[in-house]
């Protein structure tokens, strides 16, 4: 019995020794990945805000007191719609005065001038007949020269009076200078009165109101701000390090924080020509193709800008990259059961995976978890393969906005 127990112990020791020798010869077991070709999408992820392409600031062109305010924030307005009404007592009086002056011209002054013209013409006709008779009598030596001269002077005076009456009647005639001036005064007074009604010049949404009944307003004061009903943009500040991968026309998917289940599409329309020196950011503007009805001015929006796409790319997980410097990286390659440090060149990079464009081939095995500090070149290793990470969005380059100190 003791012999059998001893034999079992010896066998177990031999088995353990054999297992240790085999494990030692096969190397340390480490997690690893197999390099594969997969579709790859690179995006820049950032946070922006909804902004109307243009805003209209509405004010008063005259000084006055607000009598009515007819809109509030969020109201939709159309061109010509009344926003506010100012007190207009003195301007209404000015309009009435100008209209009364025009009516007096048309109904009194003009008829009087016409009557005066007819009277002057009749007097002229009488003076001319009398002057002709005096000339005939003077030829017959029936009257003295003095009487002829008096008749001639009376004719000249009647002619001058008739001319003055004619000029006055012409000036007061319909469509002439006096009526034109009177009508201009009416139009000017009416224009001033119209300025007491503040209207919207654009179609849009009222963002702010700075007028209440009783307020005294002046031309320099903005009373209403209106976001025009044209295209909607999303303004996004991006870290300037992303400039290299940004381009006009790139597609983006936007998700409003308030409506996470209703994404909408946009396109990169503008990349700012300058960088904010305080934050180290560059602003981009995304044009929203079909604005959803829930969008509001200054609403917070998460943005995924697609900056690169590969239908077939050689990819490795980011945790397999031991060292990264720009588009250069290093991995630990398993070749012939031994570790080997391998330099690689990277293409598209994302949050979980990156494209390898040089240095590896499909089917190569690389160690995971950046094992540079736990192994040495030429060391035997036994890779334990894991699956490549996948995401709903293939990869993302997370946009960070660090504050830059001067």
Residues 74 and 109 in one domain: no
For 369: left if phi > 0, alpha if psi spans -120 to 50, otherwise beta; the answer is: left
Is pLDDT at 81 greater than 50 in this prediction? yes
CATH number at residue 379: 2.40.420.20
Residues 214 and 137 in one domain: no
Residues 71 and 201 in one domain: yes
**End residue of a domain, out of 182, 206, 228:** 228
Is residue 240 one of the residues assigned to a domain?
Answer: no
Find, among 316, 358, 365, 314, the residue nearest to 338 by Cα.
365
pLDDT tens, residue by residue, 246-295: 999 999 999 999 999 999 999 999 999 999 889 899 999 998 888 888 88
- Sole residue written with tokens 């100012």: 86
CATH number at residue 80: 2.40.50.100
Confidence (pLDDT) at 398? 43
Residues 83 and 215 in one domain: yes
Residues 64 and 99 in one domain: no
Mean pLDDT of 143-169: 83
Residues 78 and 122 in one domain: no
Residues 367 and 323 in one domain: yes
Provide the H-helix boundaries in 105-260. 110-139, 145-172, 177-194
Is residue 250 one of the residues assigned to a domain?
Answer: no
Tokens encoding 81:
């719609």
Is pLDDT at 103 greater than 50 in this prediction? yes
Residue 47: band (very low, low, confident or very high) from pLDDT cuts 50, 70, 90: very high
Number of domains in the chain: 3
pLDDT tens, residue by residue, 366-400: 888 755 556 777 778 777 777 766 543 433 344 44
Mean pLDDT of 318-343: 81
Residues 77 and 102 in one domain: no
Mean pLDDT of 36-63: 84
Strands 28-34 and 381-386, by their bridges, are parallel
350, 42 Cβ separation under 8 angstroms? yes
Residues 177 and 209 in one domain: no
Residues 80 and 216 in one domain: yes
Q: Tell me which residue range forms the domain holding 221.
A: 55-87+196-228
Confidence (pLDDT) at 399? 45
57 DSSP β-pair partners? 225
Sheet arrangement for strand 216-217: 197-199, 82-86, 64-69, 216-217
Is pLDDT at 355 greater than 80 in this prediction? yes
Find, among 201, 204, 226, 266, the residue nearest to 44 by Cα.
266
Residues 318 and 352 in one domain: yes
Is pLDDT at 406 greater than 50 in this prediction? no
Is pLDDT at 9 greater than 60 in this prediction? no
């Amino acid at each position: 019995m003791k012999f059998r127990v001893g034999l079992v112990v010896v066998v177990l020791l031999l088995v353990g020794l054999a297992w240790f020798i085999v494990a030692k010869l096969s190397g340390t077991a480490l997690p690893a990945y197999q390099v594969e070709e997969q579709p790859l999408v690179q995006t820049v992820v950032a946070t922006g805000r909804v902004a109307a392409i243009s805003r209209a600031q509405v004010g008063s062109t005259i000084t006055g007191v607000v009598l009515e305010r007819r809109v509030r924030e969020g109201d939709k307005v159309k061109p010509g719609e009344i926003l506010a009404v100012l007190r207009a007592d003195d301007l209404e009086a000015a309009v009435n005065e100008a209209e009364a002056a025009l009516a007096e011209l048309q109904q009194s002054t003009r008829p009087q001038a016409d009557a005066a013209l007819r009277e002057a013409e009749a007097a002229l006709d009488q003076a001319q007949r009398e002057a002709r008779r005096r000339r005939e009598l003077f030829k017959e030596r029936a009257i003295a020269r003095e009487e002829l001269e008096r008749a001639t002077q009376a004719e000249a005076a009647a002619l001058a009076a008739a001319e003055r009456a004619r000029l006055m009647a012409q000036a007061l005639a319909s469509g002439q200078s006096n009526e034109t001036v009177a009508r201009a005064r009416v139009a000017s007074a009416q224009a001033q009165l119209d300025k007491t009604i503040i209207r919207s010049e654009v179609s849009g949404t009222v963002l702010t109101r700075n007028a209440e009944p009783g307020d005294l307003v002046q031309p320099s004061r903005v009373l209403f701000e209106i976001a025009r009903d044209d295209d909607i943009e999303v303004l996004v500040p991006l870290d300037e390090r992303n400039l290299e991968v940004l381009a006009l026309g790139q597609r983006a998917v936007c998700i409003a924080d308030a409506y996470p289940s209703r994404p909408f599409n946009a396109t990169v329309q503008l990349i700012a020509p300058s960088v904010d020196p305080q934050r180290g950011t560059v602003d981009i503007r995304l044009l929203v193709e079909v604005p959803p009805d829930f969008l509001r001015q200054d609403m917070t929006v998460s943005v995924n800008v697609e900056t690169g796409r590969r239908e077939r790319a050689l990819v490795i997980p980011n945790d397999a990259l031991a060292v990264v410097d720009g588009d250069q990286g290093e991995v630990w390659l398993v070749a012939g059961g031994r570790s080997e440090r391998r330099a690689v060149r990277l293409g598209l990079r994302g949050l979980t995976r990156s494209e390898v464009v040089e240095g590896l081939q499909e089917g190569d095995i690389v160690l995971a978890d950046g094992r540079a500090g736990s192994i040495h070149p030429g060391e035997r290793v036994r890779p334990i393969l894991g699956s490549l990470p996948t995401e709903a969005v293939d990869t993302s380059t997370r946009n960070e906005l660090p504050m830059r100190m001067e």
